[in-house]
Structure 1
Amino acid sequence: MINVKKLRCEYMENPIGIDVQNPRISWQIQSDVRSWLQAAYQIQVFTESDLKGLIWDSGKVESDQSIHVELNELAVKSSQRYYYQVRVWDQQDGASEWSESAFWEMGLLAASDWKAEWISAPLAQFPTESEISPLLRRKFIISKPIKSARIYATSLGLYELELNGHRVGDRYFTPGWTSYKHRLQYQTYDVTDLLAAGDNAVGALLGNGWYKGNLAWQDQSNIWGNRTALLMQLNIQYVDGHEDIITTDSQWTVSSSPILMSELYHGETYDARLEKANWSTAAYDAQDWVAAEIIEHSKAILVAQENEPVRKIEELQPIELIITPAEETVIDFGQNLVGWVRFTIQGSAGQEVTIQHAEVLDQAGNFYTANLRKAKQAILYSLKGEGQETYEPHFSFQGFRYVKLVGFGENIQLENFIAVVLHTDMESTGSFQCSDPLINQLQHNILWGQKGNFLDVPTDCPQRDERLGWTGDAQMFIRTSTQLMNVAPFFTKWLRDLAADQLESGGVPFVIPHVLDEENHSSAAWGDAAVICPWTVYLAYGDTRILEQQYTSMKAWVEYMRAQGDNEYLWNTRFHFGDWLGLDSKPGDYIGATDRDFIATAFYAYSTSLLAKAANILHKNEDYLLYSNLHAKILEAFQQEFVTPSGRLSVNTQTSTLLALMFELVEGTAKERTVKKLLQLLEESKHHLTTGFVGTPYLNLVLSQTGNTEAAYKLLFQTDYPSWLYQVTKGATTIWEHWDGIKEDGSFWSEDMNSFNHYAYGAIGDWLYRYVAGLDTDEAAPGYKHIYIKPHPGPGLDWAALDLESMYGLIHTEWRRVDGAAAMEVRITLPANTTASVHLPDALLDKLFESGATLEKTTGVSTIEQLETGVSLTLGSGKYSFTYALAKEVV
């Protein structure tokens, strides 16, 4: 039985409002037959939901491709919905049934499709310094039956829409944060069911957001503009074939809202007495509202929403009500999270209440906000006084575990407070578990660090006056992120902004979107996000288009590094963050001891090697030869500069050895000596890390790659400072910015830079998944088309299991010690249309069984080889259960 399922267009199921001119189709195949491989496929595209109006047919295409199949010959039209179905053939020419149909819908593909005008609140009533969020509305009439209706909307600032008294959609912080001078997203909403015959009304609420609001620690505001504005049009298709378009224009009117202030960092001030009941309904009397102003702003920069939107993902109940030693009333939600608190209250009109947000309590158990710096993270609410009222913010998010209540009285009911978790609504794709509860908590913390910091852009922290898209943090964590969620659309969008903000010289700003000073750009390991991030998306999702899309940016970054200094094969100029927050830093310094020229040249070599690989994949043969040659010369220069004739590194830190080994900068005797040096440095530190942001992601990976997995396990299981589990023993529920954010005595590292939700060190997850669980990709067949499974059981764990929902389907790998640790059980699930190279550690062929049978009687196994380290197999798709007695001496 062959079943084609989970049809997707541009990674999404039934998306509406996309503007990709050549959409790509992906599907999964379900089969109970082992080693099932696709031999051919057929795609049909229709204009009608009943699969009439066939407009494109691929015919039977001889190919095993089942992801990212481009519909190159299909000419798409604005606002058109397309229905499609897929069927496939196996290697024996057996055909599946047609899949259930799916669809995608195009958005507005040209600036000329926009009939709306930009409108803003009039300056006379809303001067640029006003903090009040404006309301905008318009009435219109529908006089005949509707077939369908779509709203296309965007804003300068943030917006929320209402139609006939109902909130439109479930997206938050729209239109998202992009490089606003170059790119501005719009969203598409199906509002067919919200319209009514006769009088209707549409309205919008605007907020400052990233566009106009306070950003970074320099009290910046109005970075892209000083007025919020709305662009919206409602396209209505009638049953009789006619169309109406309701647009933002001079017919809209404006009034003030109850939001007196709303800032991303500082929170929201809301006076419920100023609410205008039913303001977005046709019956509302708006005669005292003033006319909106039409303003000039480009429509040429508009692009359809590229990543999944921010949504409410889950809700958490409080776990405790605390009266602190300072006699403050505090609620503990038990989890450091990002979002806001929805609360219900009853009181008198004008009563003021305040909710403040914090990540931790201090040494004495008091509410602690010093690490927020200038961010206030406070909600100020004035009651309407008409019975029970419920409130949650609109245009501000907070990073917190604890909230302090002021003005709520003494009779606090915990059920009246709910923490709402918000982040980009990425598909959850991966999970890891093992026999050790501390490691499981570490995995929990890694996941929640990603949840909290993947809110439209990959932020460095979600609570203080920063929350910026630091490039270094993103490239350090991206591989881990791909194993937890489908982040391909998320990074596709962010990397387009990186390319948009890239300097003419090829330099890359420290943060994307770029909001810092002009000179804040192009640090090694930070700017390399331009190359490492698209390469990682390619590996994890088999997405060649992201390499095509980002190739110019990737090449520009490598050429930027090449142009620095007086030697084109070394990078020894400019400011660099170095091994940021390395524990071998000088007192009072944030930059680790590893020579920054060493780090810069190492990343120069690595990014150049990846660029050459990308050029080869994209059949850019001249560039492939050019950058392969450049990489060879950088290697030669690196070895002359940083490796002595006897094979020693001239820079002796944990991070220097890690980069030299991870990026394959040394070979032969020099590699052997570098491995020994790394182990020596670990011995000297009593087997603790001294690495910062640059070295830490590679530490355990390099140890395992060089045959020192036991040393990697020893590092992992350290529980004293500095270690990953030290944070866990201190009650962390997310990853910290500093190894000792909270010290042994309960005091804090510092006030100025001490986030307790900072995902970079969560990159240890990459090693847990690729080595402990043993799941890895193949560069030659990326996206888990061909899979490597090579578990590395180590001391301290009895079992480990990993699930990953790849583009092809579920991959499961699990190992556990059985029979008193004398034997091993390894379970593997591979999706249809994939193969895997599997290594069973410490296995002997004559003691190896699959589902109780010898391998000779097992289907799905195509090659078998006894190695010194175990048994090597090639498997086709299906479920497998291997058991074997551990070899005391593998031959």
Structure 2
Amino acid sequence: MTDRTAPDDLPRIERVVAEYGEPELGIGVAAPRLSWSRSGGAEQTAYEVRLRPASGDVSTVRVAGGGQVFQPWPFPELRSRERVEVEVRAEAGGAWSHWSEPLVVEAGLLRPQDVTARFISPRHVGGLDDGAVALVRHLDLAGPVASARLYITAHGVYDAWIGGRRVGDHQLAPGWTAYASRLRYQTFDVTPHLRDGGPTQLAVGLGNGWYRGQLTWNLRRDHYGDRLALLAQLEITYADGRQETVVTDDAWRAGATGVLADDLYDGQRTDLRLPLVPSVAASGPVDVLEPDAARLVAPLGPPVREVATVPARAVSTSPSGAQLLDFGQNVVGWVRLRVTGSPGQEVTVRHAEVLEDGELGVRPLRAAKATDTYVLSGGPELLEPRYTFHGFRYAEVSGVSVEASDAEAVVVSSDLRRTGWFECSEPDLERLHENVVWGMRGNFVDVPTDCPQRDERLGWTGDIQVFAPTAAFLFDVGGFLGSWLRDLAAEQRPDGGVPFVVPDVVYEHIGGPRPGDPPHSPPAGWADAAVHVPWTLYQRYGDTGVLERQYDSMRAWVEKARSLAGDSLLWDTGFQFGDWLDPDAPPDDAAAAKADPAVVATAYLARSAHLLALTASVLGRDDDAARYESLAADVVRAFGKAYVAADGTVRSDCQTVYALAIAWDLLETPEQRAGAGRRLAALVQAADFHVSTGFLGTPLVLDALCRAGRADLAHAMVLTRTAPSWLYAVTMGATTIWERWDSMLPDGSINPGEMTSFNHYAYGAVADWLHRCVAGLAPAAPGYREVAVRPLVTGQLTHASARHLSPYGPVAVSWRLDDDRFELSVEVPPGVTAHLDLPLADPYPDAVGPGSHRFTGRWRRP
């Protein structure tokens, strides 16, 4: 039985964005692409874009066709600072929609010569061993202000204030990029701060941040430089039309603040008896540094903001007598604490993700102190740091007695728009999915880090390579990861090698090359992020621009990997992380996986060459497409000859090698494919449905089982509750994804391995399988222009649903199984076709178009 509710026949334009929807002001593209979603109406046959510049001369362009995602800018390029309004309407079914709400597009400083400010650095305060500083400029405005823009960035992290009022709500700006090549600046509308004219003050606080704080396990503090610095350009237009520009120069003054020390790893020490920005009476000189405006870039994605608060749930006393706050959720940010004390009284807040023997479990933090201290000025006070963040669920407070109502956890993250949700009949699986969301939120703090709490917090390429499909479903990461990929290309070696982490602060080869290997031997699966992440963004957002921007980087990496494999096309040299953190690896050797590293590396070479060929085809580079598809085929043949037996047995005979071979079509004969599928199933059954994969095998093992016709085994694996499994951590009370399958042992003790984070999203890549295969919602064409609705219903779950805000609008699938009766609903937005492959014994259509559709009938058992 099939029911259909027709969509509203009148098309409506919903969300319109330029490029990635960020920044709100100061876009860094002169010809931003436009995207919109629609509700109601038939297939779009044309659209119009209307431009309203400041001059009032309205112009309209009509374009035939159904395009509505990343459509080219149809007007002359924007000039620096130019502000326009854009409206869109669409024709569908012979009728035109109403015009959309106006979208304001304001260009930033598009040329280096637009920047007249210079970096300034305090001369006598703010040294490497000093605390945060304030840089101050007094202004005497020449009358009422009509508009004002502040363009600002820093070496370090900043917070800006005008007239004692904070500018914006960004945290830890300007963020972390490959500073030598790319330094973001931000644009703020500060008209409300200046509107009345008269005297005022511009004050900016500078902390160490990523630029000058400790980074990596070596705790080096000056990866980028040993001086804090500020660049600011305030452009004022008065009500009478006059213009004035105030820039950072030698007229500014510097002063020390009550932030006596600040570090991302160690925390912040604050003396509240001393002034903080903007109250500092700065009088010290500054040095004007050499200009370097060519590396300034506008943001592509959203800033880090305070995105939530979590109230403390309880206060308890540890066996040692310590006072512990429990927030009930592992978060990333800091504690906001309300206290009353005496002048000079000291309050200390220490952080940890877990408890061990009733005390803070700080061993996983390694050398990071994760401690904030405050010297009180007396009376009621609100304590929170400005220039640090922590990963924690628990906080130990000493120096003052507190109640749960006195504390809340401030959650900070890149302010990404949520786009994906999942539900099912198993509460523990829903909790697992929620843990993935929290883990992503906590690790997407300006860069996609591995963990947010210990002396690391780096943009490991392997982690995001496996997690990108999940990330792109849950949140809109097009601009966020697009920016990170530009940093990857900037940090890429001249020979095409890709760093382990981006931004690159590791530099050297971690494992040490074998004799005869080049000094830097990038590992498979990690360096392959250069190819896999851009392809994922294209698949999920329909963004050919990211492929165009990254193509040279993608090709350079494949050529580098090809050279490492040599004439044999078998990549069996150099250090490999391999199937990192295989659950059978010893605690002190995370790279000691069951999967042969050469098998893994060669499989990645084949896959990346294939994805590069597809990319070249999309971009119309037909010669490259043929060349790299031929390379991929040659690698597959070499892989099969060296590593695969006639019966499908793959060298090292473990879950990961079969997952790679099956999921990526590396098996050439039907006998090998069938045999490999049977062997993978046998290994899973022999393991009693436990996971036996590390970082690289885990995202593929369930898909491989499904392709082998054993979706029942895939469901059994994901529903297993003893270690190693996804749900083991849930049964142990986890609220984020763990780095190890058993970061906490069954007795409640912490795994002794060095790599023991309790917020590490890599294994959360399983959520992509939940979306595509359990709920049955998958992209079938770039940007979800077509979707595949194919839930793999085995009877082990009785209902599941997924909803995604695709570039074309909301798409959703929900199904329910009641004995032998199956029911499914699907919501399809305008412009999208859904292809159906349902477990129904009764007839149903192959595809449906926009609207709400419902299918019911007898369940076709697998």
Question: Is TM (by shorter chain) over 0.5?
Answer: yes
- Does the CA-based 8 Å contact 2:647-2:676 persist in structure 1? no
CA displacement 1:771-798 (0-9 Å, x = unmatched): 00001112xx311011111111223311
1:270-309 correspondence to structure 2 within 5 Å: 270-275=270-275, 279=279, 286=281, 289-309=283-303
Give the C-alpha shift of residue 193 in structure 1: 0.5
* Structure 2 unaligned blocks of 5 or more: 1-9, 511-519
Paired with 2:639 and 2:147, the residues of 1 have a C-alpha distance of 63
Q: Letter of the 1:723 partner, please give it.
A: S
**Residues 446-479 of structure 1: per-residue CA shift (max 9 Å, x gap):** 1101011110001000000000000000011110
Q: In the alignment, which residue of structure 2 is the partner of 1:867?
A: none
Give 3-state SS (helix, strand or coil) of 2:837's partner: strand
Q: In structure 2, the residue corresponding to 1:100 is in which secondary structure? A: coil
Is 1:372 the equivalent of 2:365? yes
The aligned amino acid for 2:366 is R
Given that residues 839 and 872 in structure 1 are in contact (C-alpha distance below 8 angstroms), is that contact kept between their aligned partners in structure 2? no
Aligned to 1:152: 151
Mapping of 1:726-737 within 5 angstroms?
726-737=728-739
In the alignment, which residue of structure 2 is the partner of 1:332? 326
- Secondary structure (helix, strand or coil) at the match of 1:508 reads coil
Kept in 1, the 8 Å contact 2:23–2:300? The answer is no
Task: Name the SS of the counterpart of 2:177 in structure 1.
Answer: coil
Q: Deviations over 1:287-315 (max 9, x none)?
A: x6112211124111000112110000000
- Match for 1:80 among 79, 82, 87? 82
Alignment partner of 1:453 is 2:456: no
- SS of 1:356's partner is strand
1:836 maps to 2:821: no
Letter in 2 for 1:53: D
Match of 1:438 among 428, 435, 438: 428
Classify the secondary structure of the residue corresponding to 1:237: strand
Which residue is 2:458 aligned to? Answer: 468
Please say if residues 36 and 808 of structure 2, whose CA atoms lie closer than 8 Å, have aligned partners that are also in contact: yes
Gaps of 5+ in 1: 281-285, 846-870
After TM superposition, the structure 1 = structure 2 runs for residues 302-321 of structure 1, keeping only pairs within 5 Å, are 302-321=296-315
2:625 corresponding residue in structure 1: 624
SS of the residue corresponding to residue 572 of structure 2 reads coil
Deviation at 1:233, TM superposition (A): 0.6
**1:46 equivalenced with 2:52 (yes/no):** yes
2:572 corresponds in structure 1 to 572
User: In 1, Cα distance between the equivalents of 2:553 and 2:159?
Assistant: 34
Q: Partner of 1:70: helix, strand, or coil?
A: coil
Residues 840 and 247 (structure 1), Cα distance of their counterparts in 2 relative to 1, 3 Å cut: same
Measured at CA, do residues 532 and 274 of structure 1 come closer, stay the same or move farther in structure 2, by a change above 3 Å? same
- Kindly indicate whether residue 847 of structure 2 is the aligned counterpart of residue 882 of structure 1: no
The CA distance in 2 between the partners of 1:588 and 1:417, in whole Å, is: 38
CA contact (8 A) 2:425 2:799 kept: yes
Moved more, 233-242 or 348-357: 233-242
**Secondary structure of the structure 2 residue equivalent to 1:16:** coil
C-alpha displacement at 1:264, in angstroms? 0.4
- Find the counterpart in structure 1 of residue 663 from structure 2: 662
Q: Distance in 2 between matches of 1:492 and 1:177?
A: 14
Q: CA deviation at 1:137?
A: 0.6
Q: How many angstroms does 1:880 deviate by?
A: 1.4
8 Å CA contact 1:609, 1:627 repeated in 2: yes
Q: Does 2:396 correspond to 1:404?
A: yes
Calculate the TM-score normalised by the size of structure 1: 0.92
CA distance, structure 2, for counterparts of residue 74 and residue 699 of structure 1: 50
Paired residue secondary structure (1:321): strand
Q: Does the 8 Å contact 2:236/2:245 carry over to 1?
A: yes
Answer whether contact 1:4 1:30 (CA < 8 A) is retained.
Answer: yes
Determine the C-alpha separation between the residues in 1 that align with 2:269 and 2:199.
33
Q: Shift in Å at residue 565 of structure 1?
A: 4.6
The answer as to 2:73 corresponding to 1:57 is no
2:411 to 418, 421, 424: 421
Give 1:138's aligned residue: 137
Q: Does 1:18 align with 2:24?
A: no
Which of 486, 493, 498 is the matching residue for 1:496? Answer: 486
Secondary structure of the structure 2 residue equivalent to 1:240: coil
- C-alpha separation between the residues in 2 aligned to 1:125 and 1:482? 44
**Residue 715 of structure 2 aligns to a residue in which SS?**
helix
Deviation at 1:404, TM superposition (A): 0.2
Check 1:14–1:456 CA distance in 2 against 1; reply closer, same or farther (3 A cut).
Answer: closer
- With over 3 angstroms needed to count, the CA separation of the structure-2 counterparts of 1:213 and 1:149, relative to structure 1, is same
Whole-Å separation in 1 of the counterparts to 2:859 and 2:629 = 43
Match of 2:797 in 1: 797
How many angstroms does 1:506 deviate by? 0.4
Superposition deviation, residue 228 in structure 1: 0.5
Query: 1:812 aligned to 2:806?
Result: no
Return closer, same or farther for 1:440/1:566 CA change in 2, 3 Å cut-off: closer
Q: Which one-letter code corresponds to 1:26 in the other structure?
A: S
Question: What residue in structure 2 maps to residue 30 of structure 1?
Answer: 39
Instruction: Tell whether the 8 Å contact from 1:654 to 1:690 is kept in structure 2 after alignment.
Output: yes
**Is 2:605 the partner of 1:604?**
yes
SS at match of 2:96: coil
Letter aligned with residue 155 of structure 2: L
**Is this contact kept in 2: 1:14–1:102, CA < 8 A?**
no
Matched, 1:355 2:349: yes
* Counterparts of residues 691-730 of structure 1 (less than 5 Å): 691-730=693-732
Aligned to 1:215: 215
**Does the 8 Å CA contact 1:827/1:881 hold for their aligned counterparts?**
yes
Correspondence for 2:17: 8
- Per-residue displacement from partner, 1:405-449 (whole Å, max 9, x unpaired)? 11113xx22211110000000000111011111111101101101
Correspondence for 2:385 among 385, 393, 399: 393
Counterpart residue type for residue 623 of structure 1: D
Deviation at 1:646, TM superposition (A): 4.8
Q: What's the RMSD between the two structures over aligned residues?
A: 1.6
What SS does the corresponding residue of 2:830 show, helix, strand or coil?
strand
For residues 217 and 677 of structure 1, what CA distance do their matches in structure 2 show?
41
Partner Cα separation in structure 1 for residue 568 and residue 15 of structure 2? 49
Opposite residue 57 of structure 1, the aligned amino acid is: T
Of stretches 753-762 and 662-671 in structure 1, the one that deviates more from structure 2 is 662-671
Shift of 1:240: 3.0
User: 2: distance between equivalents of 1:744 and 1:646?
Assistant: 39
> Partner amino acid for 2:16?
L
Post-superposition CA distance 1:89-113 (Å, at most 9, x none): 11x3221122221111100011111
Q: Give the distance between the partners of 1:334 and 1:801, measured in 2 at CA.
A: 27
Partners in 2 of 1:809 and 1:73 — Cα distance? Answer: 26
Counterpart AA for 2:560: Y
C-alpha distance in 2 between matches for 1:841 and 1:432: 20
- Large movers: runs of 4+ above 6 Å: none
Partner of 2:224: 224
Deviation at 1:518, TM superposition (A): 2.4
Aligned to 2:751: 749
Aligned to 2:189: 190
Contact 2:20–2:300 under 8 Å retained in 1: no
- Do the aligned partners of residues 568 and 562 (structure 1) sit closer, same or farther apart at CA in structure 2, a change above 3 Å counting? farther
Corresponding letter in the other structure for 1:44: R
Instruction: Answer yes or no: is the 8 Å Cα contact 1:87–1:97 preserved in 2.
Output: yes
8 A contact 2:790–2:838 mirrored in 1: yes
Q: CA deviation at 1:187?
A: 0.3
| 1:625 Cα offset (Å) | 1.1
> Alpha carbons of 1:744 and 1:880: their partners in 2 closer, same or farther (altered >3 Å)?
same
Which moved further from structure 2: 701-710 or 265-274?
701-710
**Larger CA deviation: 255-264 vs 413-422:** 413-422
- CA distance in structure 1 between the partners assigned to 2:726 and 2:389 by the alignment: 27
Cα shift readout 1:583-622 (whole Å, capped 9, x = no counterpart): 2436753221111111111000000000000000000111
Task: Give, as a single letter, the amino acid of the residue that structure 1 aligns with 2:183.
Answer: L
1:850 is aligned to: none
Would you say how many aligned residue pairs link Structure 1 and Structure 2? 840
Q: Name the aligned partner's letter for residue 534 of structure 1.
A: P
Q: What is the identity, as a one-letter code, of the residue corresponding to 1:884?
A: G
Identity %: 40
Rounded to whole Å, the distance in 2 between the matches of 1:722 and 1:633 is 36
